[in-house]
Amino acid sequence: MYEKCPVCDQKYELETGFWFGTGYVSYALSVAFSVFNLIWYAVFFGISWRDNSIFIWLGINTVLLVLIQPWLMRLSRVIYLYFFVYYDESTKDLEKPKHHHS
């Protein structure tokens, strides 16, 4: 991951340990994804303890969560950064900041 945005020069890690909060966002996304999977699975296949279909759903959901984890981590960083950094659309055409080396 870049240290700063190549377009606007925004520093990504606002403070040491800043990204630890993304764990909560990633967890919320994972729970939402799991609930969505449970609903569509129950609608199309039915779910029950008697035929162990809940365990089939659990296995499928676990595999899907592992497969989409890199995407979820990236998405959680974007969402978390939006909480703290305001993006002003009108500044997108401004000239990139010049780096001054002392």
- Express each pLDDT in 4-50 by its tens digit: 877 777 777 788 888 888 999 999 999 999 999 999 999 998 888 78
Structure-model confidence comparison of residues 89 and 75, the more confident one: 75
| pTM of the complete model | 0.72
User: Residue 46 contacts by C-beta under 8 Å, 6 or more apart in sequence?
Assistant: 53
Give the percent of the chain with pLDDT over 90. Answer: 43
Question: Is the pLDDT reported for residue 96 higher than 80?
Answer: no
Tokens (6 digits) for 39: 């609903």
Question: Is the pLDDT reported for residue 71 higher than 80?
Answer: yes
Backbone angles phi, psi at 11, to 5 degrees: -70, 130
Structure-model confidence comparison of residues 35 and 52, the more confident one: 35
CB burial of residue 76 (10 Å; 0-12, 13-18, 19+): buried
Structure-model confidence comparison of residues 9 and 74, the more confident one: 74
Please provide the DSSP assignment of 71-84 as one string.
HHHHHHHHHHHHHH
